[in-house]
Amino acid sequence: MNDLIVKLLEFMKKTFSGVQPSGELHLGNYLGAIKNWVSMQDEYDATFCIVDLHAITVPQDPKELRRRILDVAKAYIALGIDPEKSNIFVQSDVNAHTELCWILNCVAARMGDMEKMTQFKDKSAKGDAQRASVGLFDYPVLMAADILLYDTDVVPVGEDQVQHVELARTLARRFNKKFGDTFIVPQPELTTEGKRIMGLDDPTKKMSKSAVSKYNYITLMDEPDVVRKKIRKAVTDSGSDVTYSDERPALQNLLNIYTLLSKKSIKEIELMYDGRGFGDFKNDLAEVIIEFLTSFQQRVNDISDEEVKRILKSGAKKANEQATQKIQEVKEKIGFVM
Ligand code: AMP
Ligand code: TRP
């Protein structure tokens, strides 16, 4: 990076976000979060992380985890994150994340905050809550550490993560009040149509890789025939006209996916299918998704493991430089001898 760019970055607002390498990425991850990152990287000093420390809050197979970390990094790049503009790195390559997490656990986070976290309640209720890892409970504090280490102004995420960003705000304020101004208080940022992509088999729940049925989600690596089948089986609402309304959540979800992946507005799409029914609409939607996925998959295949490892290594170096400064400041403020 040349000096001019380094100078410019000083004046830019900062954005930070991440995805866990804990399953295949799906359309919800792209439309709810990563698509927004791509458009933000020109305006912001952007950092995008592969949050492997978050992934191990639930059991992972080591061999698979290693593969997935590289696959998520490749996906970021293939979806349009440009490593020349944005810093891409793996969370466990930067020790300051776990250090700051521990410090926030002790001096800022309270049991009362943590017990309100709905994701933990939902996730632990699915399994046996008593057997959930302590890490799963503490996961939002680690996320706050990720965000606060990089002086983040804006955190682009899907709606399910807003409560966690709110916690990061609370912890930043509490720390600043006790120890003096240290952290920027970050803002969450959502997209309109993509903030909550719903399950194709159940429009009352978000699309999720941990869903029981594979007909809930479309992964970014799904083959064309799989996409056609999943869209054909997607639930629709009663009636047969293609119109967007809150009373028809299944159709609304499909229309959101359609508009986000094509250059067409919802109005244009409604007009296109006026009097034609769901069949045509679904067939075309499947093709829109397939076109997007096919070119994405080609770009993924063009990136070698070596190339992505090189990018992650230089990303970790830069992230370490930034995070080390911040963690030193924090340690100094809480009374550690430096
Ligand atoms: P995760 O897969 O939980 O690591 O999520 C990565 C990002 O994708 C986060 O910003 C989530 O909020 C977002 N995300 C996950 N599922 C959805 C969904 N169904 N709709 C919109 N955004 C989502
Ligand atoms: N918890 C987020 C998720 O599951 C992932 C994440 C970890 C994250 N650290 C973050 C997102 C920091 C934004 C900023 O989706």
d(CA 103, CA 118): 23
- Over residues 267-296, mean pLDDT: 95
What local confidence, expressed as pLDDT, does residue 253 receive?
A: 97
Kindly report, residue by residue over 222-239, the tens digit of the pLDDT.
999 999 999 999 999 888
Kindly report, residue by residue over 16-59, the tens digit of the pLDDT.
999 999 989 999 999 999 999 999 999 999 999 999 999 999 99
Give the residue numbers annotated as catalytic, written as ranges.
123, 206, 209
d(CA 258, CA 265): 9
Residue 335 in tokens: 């009374």
**Ligand at shortest distance from the CA of 28:** 1
pLDDT band for 129, please (50, 70, 90 cuts).
confident
- Over residues 192-218, mean pLDDT: 94
* Mean confidence (pLDDT) of the chain: 95
| Ligand 1 center to 120 CA (angstroms) | 15
8 has pLDDT over 80: no
Instruction: Please state the pTM of the whole predicted model.
Output: 0.95
d(CA 30, CA 219): 10
Q: Is the CB–ligand 2 distance for residue 143 below 6 Å? A: yes
- Over residues 199-212, mean pLDDT: 93
pLDDT band for 1, please (50, 70, 90 cuts).
low
What local confidence, expressed as pLDDT, does residue 123 receive?
A: 80
280 has pLDDT over 90: yes
Residue 331 in tokens: 């340690």
Could you tell me what percent of the chain has a pLDDT over 70? 99
Whose C-alpha lies nearest to ligand 1, atom 5? 19
Whether 79 and 306 have beta carbons less than 8 Å apart is answered as no
**Ligand at shortest distance from the CA of 165:** 2
| Ligand 1 center to 335 CA (angstroms) | 37
240 has pLDDT over 90: no
- What is the length of the chain? 338
Residue 221 in tokens: 């690596």
User: Which helix or strand (DSSP H or E) is residue 17 part of?
Assistant: strand 14-19
What local confidence, expressed as pLDDT, does residue 210 receive?
A: 86
Q: Which atom of ligand 2 is nearest to the CA of 164?
A: 1
What local confidence, expressed as pLDDT, does residue 128 receive?
A: 78
Residue 68 in tokens: 């997935």
d(CA 76, CA 34): 7
| Ligand 1 center to 262 CA (angstroms) | 20
Q: Is the CB–ligand 2 distance for residue 18 below 6 Å? A: yes
- Over residues 121-141, mean pLDDT: 88
Q: What domains sit in the chain, N to C, each tagged with a CATH number?
A: 2-190+304-334 (3.40.50.620), 214-299 (1.10.240.10)
What local confidence, expressed as pLDDT, does residue 43 receive?
A: 95
- Over residues 123-138, mean pLDDT: 86
> DSSP letters of 129-186?
GGGS-HHHHHHHHHHHHHHHHTT-SEEE--GGGHHHHHHHHHHHHHHHHHH-S-S---
| Ligand 2 center to 277 CA (angstroms) | 39
From the CB of residue 262, how many other CB atoms can be counted at a distance below 10 Å? 17
Q: Which atom of ligand 2 is nearest to the CA of 19?
A: 5
- Which of the 8 DSSP states describes residue 31? I
Q: Where are the alpha helices (DSSP H) in the chain?
A: 3-11, 27-29, 35-40, 52-55, 62-79, 96-107, 111-114, 118-126, 134-149, 162-179, 224-233, 249-261, 266-272, 277-301, 305-334
